[in-house]
């Protein structure tokens, strides 16, 4: 990759191409190169919503070339955690950036008026969004697909909903057909820049340096994606297949992480969704797996009159709006998801915050006075829908606060012990045990996808493993994912892309890498992220878990204070944090 970076300054209203070949040749691309661009263009001490704080979108060398290299990394300073903001999304964005000839898009400044950005082949135009500021994320997509339609060409549309316009730190940015830069508040950062949307398209064709080698690697990957069992789960039931099994082992967070088995799990399982509501699978551009599951929600709005909406679902969405809130009706879950999709909230953060509010109400730290007369109770789908409605309207201080996440709410209203967040970030849906808790604390994005903690926990149910080895495996995976996330391979294809095929794939593109080069890059780029986090004020020695988590049964039993401390010490040691940052 040449490291072609399109830098748009919204304040000045200008754009220019800058070449950062050194960054892309040393760090592959995507997540690692994006972090270096954060260092280059941003100040880690700046306010996340200040005009000068940059947003970086980066793709990798495999993007749009090999199957399932579908992701784009977004890097920014998170308004939710106050440190590293990083989120990945699929859709057609990686394809469009590649065809536009751009390896990364960097946006700084603040537009004077509501605007959107139209990127076409290395050029950017800032256009007025005055007419559709305030529109939902879904309506914005429809509007821009028409306004920016290009004959015979694919376009990608990133946009925020009203939540991002209100600077909600749990606001996401939606990409194409219900794919999201979900976590850590990118929506608010775009909103603070007065930027409603970004449209990307290009006409570049991509000649092959070594067509024969390329096609050989491609066919191996294609067969693994389509014909092997590696991705079958994602294609068939999708991640929703996890609902039943996780509840079975007491790992499905239920009613604000009170227990790991949900009595309504069967009713909201992947099997049930497929049987009653699934209408179609769709795919990100250049992914033959097609894991996007679309359900149809049919509602009678007047006698014999119906509205029909398509809602995309996955495991994390069912956890956040289902078991966490004790909702065992798929329709209730889909109604909440529809509002969430339109407003543009991150569903995980939202579900955890609603669950915190419910527990607070039940414990008496919140009263009808704060909730505006609305009693909160687990299992009350209508009440949750009403809450989202009030949040969308900004109806009362409490509802305006709810969209700031549960850490903020706990600081203001109390209930810190049961506010389920790690470093300010609400976790993914795993109540598997200590390895997952370490992921949430130490993962560079506080994301379940940072390493494989939840999976190590689950394997312990079958065979014990020494604690040191567990932590070592976790750190090793965190480092390896720097490689996958810099090539921008969807993590669902992590079984498809082993080190050997990655090296062959790089060689077929004329890029010279070897095992030790990848390993070195992986270790270094992980540390660079911790370095950026530290400059933001993140202290890896003061991470903690919510107090409530010490008293609940996970899939692997109670979590211990001492063993967590031991794990943290080992994690820092194996990641190489001690020597550099102590």
Partner 1 sequence: MSIKYLRVINRDQCIGCFSCMYACSRMVRNSAGSGKAALRVKGYAGVEGAFSIRVCARCADPDCAKACPTGALTPAPGGGVRLKKDLCISCGACVKACAISALQWDEEEKQPIPCIFCGQCVKYCPNDVLAMQEIPEKEADQR
Q: Which residues would be at the binding site for partner 1 (CB under 8 A)? A: 64-65, 67, 95, 98-99, 138, 141-142, 145-146, 149, 152-154, 177-178, 203-208, 211, 214-215, 218, 222, 225-226, 279-290, 292, 294, 310, 312
Q: CB under 8 Å to 229, separation ≥6 — which residues? A: none
Q: How far is the CB of 67 from partner 1 (least distance, A)?
A: 8
**What angle do helix axes 561-575 and 515-536 make, rounded to 10 degrees?**
120
Q: How far is the CB of 388 from partner 1 (least distance, A)?
A: 21
Q: How far is the CB of 217 from partner 1 (least distance, A)?
A: 11
Q: Quick one: 55 or 287, whose CB is closer to partner 1?
A: 287
DSSP for 365-386? SS-HHHHTT----TT-HHHHHH
- Residue 42 to residue 293: CA distance in whole angstroms: 37
Q: Which of 191, 161, 162 is nearest to 174 (CA)?
A: 161
Q: Quick one: 211 or 394, whose CB is closer to partner 1?
A: 211
Q: Quick one: 61 or 415, whose CB is closer to partner 1?
A: 61
SS3 at position 252: coil
Q: How far is the CB of 202 from partner 1 (least distance, A)?
A: 9
Q: Quick one: 215 or 561, whose CB is closer to partner 1?
A: 215
Q: Quick one: 115 or 178, whose CB is closer to partner 1?
A: 178
DSSP for 403-460? TT-HHHHHHHHS-GGG---BTTB---S----HHHHHHHHHSTTS-TTSS-HHHHHHHH
Cα separations in angstroms, 29 against 16, 505, 513: 20, 15, 13
Q: Quick one: 145 or 561, whose CB is closer to partner 1?
A: 145
Q: How far is the CB of 401 from partner 1 (least distance, A)?
A: 32
Q: How far is the CB of 155 from partner 1 (least distance, A)?
A: 10
Token duo for residue 560 = 């211990």
- Residue 513 to residue 499: CA distance in whole angstroms: 11
Where does 227-363 have alpha helices with state H?
232-235, 243-248, 270-276, 315-321, 330-343, 347-363
Token duo for residue 557 = 């039993």
Rounded CA Rg of the chain:
22
Which residues does residue 109 pair with via DSSP β-bridges, in sequence order?
none
Q: How far is the CB of 496 from partner 1 (least distance, A)?
A: 14
Answer for the pair 51, 38: CB distance below 8 angstroms, yes or no. no
Q: How far is the CB of 318 from partner 1 (least distance, A)?
A: 19
Q: Quick one: 146 or 582, whose CB is closer to partner 1?
A: 146
Q: How far is the CB of 298 from partner 1 (least distance, A)?
A: 15
Answer for the pair 169, 79: CB distance below 8 angstroms, yes or no. yes
Q: Quick one: 10 or 118, whose CB is closer to partner 1?
A: 118
At residue 302, φ and ψ (nearest 5 deg) are -150, 160
Answer for the pair 23, 3: CB distance below 8 angstroms, yes or no. yes
- Dihedral of CA atoms 305, 311, 316, 320 in degrees, nearest 10, equals -30
Q: Quick one: 310 or 404, whose CB is closer to partner 1?
A: 310
Token duo for residue 214 = 């390329």
Q: Quick one: 210 or 275, whose CB is closer to partner 1?
A: 210
Q: How far is the CB of 310 from partner 1 (least distance, A)?
A: 5
- Residue 80 to residue 186: CA distance in whole angstroms: 9
């Amino acid at each position: 990759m040449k490291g072609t970076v399109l830098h748009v300054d919204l304040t000045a209203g200008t754009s220019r191409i800058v070449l950062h070949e050194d960054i892309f040749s040393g760090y592959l691309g995507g997540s690692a190169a994006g972090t270096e661009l954060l260092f280059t263009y941003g100040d880690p001490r700046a306010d996340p919503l200040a005009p000068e704080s940059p947003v970086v979108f980066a793709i990798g060398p495999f993007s749009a070339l090999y199957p399932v290299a579908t992701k784009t990394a977004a890097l920014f300073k998170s308004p939710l955690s106050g440190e590293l903001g990083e989120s990945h999304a699929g859709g057609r964005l990686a394809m469009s950036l590649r065809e536009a000839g751009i390896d990364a898009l960097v946006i700084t400044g603040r537009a004077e008026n509501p605007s959107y950005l139209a990127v076409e082949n290395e050029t950017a135009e800032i256009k007025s969004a005055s007419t559709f500021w305030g529109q939902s994320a879904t309506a914005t997509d429809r509007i821009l697909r028409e306004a920016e339609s290009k004959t015979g060409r694919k376009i990608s549309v990133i946009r925020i909903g009203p939540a991002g316009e209100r600077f909600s730190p749990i606001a996401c940015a939606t990409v194409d057909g219900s794919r999201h830069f979900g976590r850590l508040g990118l929506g608010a950062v775009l909103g603070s820049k007065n930027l409603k949307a970004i449209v990307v398209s290009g006409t570049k064709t991509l000649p092959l340096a070594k067509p024969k080698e390329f096609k050989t690697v491609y066919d191996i990957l294609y067969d693994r994606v389509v014909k092997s069992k590696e991705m079958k789960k994602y294609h068939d039931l999708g991640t929703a297949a996890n609902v039943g099994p996780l509840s079975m082992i007491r790992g499905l967070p239920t009613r604000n992480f009170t227990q790991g088995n949900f009595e309504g799990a069967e009713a909201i399982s992947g099997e049930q969704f497929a049987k009653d509501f699934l209408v179609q699978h769709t795919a990100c551009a250049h992914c033959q797996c097609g894991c996007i599951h679309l359900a149809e929600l049919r509602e009678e709005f007047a006698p014999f009159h119906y509205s029909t909406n398509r809602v995309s679902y996955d495991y994390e969405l069912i956890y956040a709006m289902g078991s966490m809130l004790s909702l065992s009706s798929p329709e209730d879950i889909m109604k909440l998801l529809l509002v969430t999709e339109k407003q543009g909230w991150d569903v995980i953060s939202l579900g955890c915050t609603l669950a915190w509010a419910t527990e607070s109400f039940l414990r008496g730290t919140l009263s009808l006075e704060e909730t505006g007369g609305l009693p909160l109770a687990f299992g009350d789908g209508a009440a949750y829908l009403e809450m989202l409605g009030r949040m969308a309207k900004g109806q009362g201080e409490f509802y305006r606060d709810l969209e700031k996440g549960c850490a903020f709410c706990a600081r203001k209203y109390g209930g810190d012990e049961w506010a389920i967040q790690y470093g300010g970030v609400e976790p993914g849906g795993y109540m598997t045990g200590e390895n997952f808790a370490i992921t949430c604390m130490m993962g560079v994005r506080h994301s379940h996808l940072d390493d494989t903690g939840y999976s190590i926990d689950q394997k312990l149910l079958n065979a014990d493993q020494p604690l040191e080895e567990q932590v070592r495996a976790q750190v090793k995976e965190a480092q390896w994912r720097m490689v996958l996330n810099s090539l921008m391979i969807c993590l669902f294809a992590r079984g498809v892309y082993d080190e050997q095929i990655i090296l062959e794939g790089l060689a077929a593109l004329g890029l010279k890498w070897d095992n030790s080069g990848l390993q070195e890059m992986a270790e270094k780029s992980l540390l660079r992220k911790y370095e950026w986090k530290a400059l933001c004020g993140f202290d890896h020695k003061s991470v903690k878990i919510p107090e409530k988590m010490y008293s609940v049964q996970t899939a692997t039993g109670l979590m211990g204070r001492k063993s967590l401390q031991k794990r943290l010490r080992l994690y820092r040691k194996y990641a190489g944090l001690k020597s550099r940052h102590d």
